[in-house]
Copies of this chain bind each other. A is one copy, B any other.
Amino acid sequence: MSLKNLINEINKKQSFLCIGLDTDINKIPSFLLENDDPIFSFNRSIIDKTHKYCIAYKLNTAFYESNGASGWVSMNKTIDYIKQNYPRIFTIADAKRGDIGNTSKMYAEAFFRKMNFDSITINPYMGADSVKPFLEFENKFSILLGLTSNIGAEDLQLKTTDNDYIFSEMINSSKSWGDSSNMMYVVGATKADYIKKIRNIIPNHFLLIPGVGAQGGNLDEICKFALNASVGIIINSSRSIIYASNDNLFADSAAREAIKLQSQMKEILSSRN
**8 Å CB contacts to B: which residues of A114-134?**
114-115, 123-131
| Known A106-B63, A110-B65; contact A152-B127, beta-carbon cutoff 8 A | yes
Query: Which B residues are CB-close (under 8 A) to A232?
Result: none
Q: Does A166 touch B at the CB level, under 8 Å?
A: yes
Interface centre among A76, A150, A152, A160, by most chain B C-beta atoms within 10 angstroms, is A152
Q: What is the interface residue range for chain A against chain B?
A: 35 or more
Q: How near does chain B come to A216, taking the closest CB pair, in angstroms?
A: 13
Contact: B66 with A109, CB < 8 Å? yes
- Number of this chain's copies in the assembly equals 2
Contacts of A71 in B (CB 8 A): 110
Shortest distance in angstroms between A137's beta carbon and chain B's nearest beta carbon? 14
What CA separation (Å) do A25 and B264 show in the bound complex? 49
Residue of B nearest to A167 (CB): B125
In the complex, A169→B148 CA distance in Å? 18
A128 to B126, CA, bound (A): 18
Chain-B contact segment, one of A8-16, A97-105, A217-225: A97-105
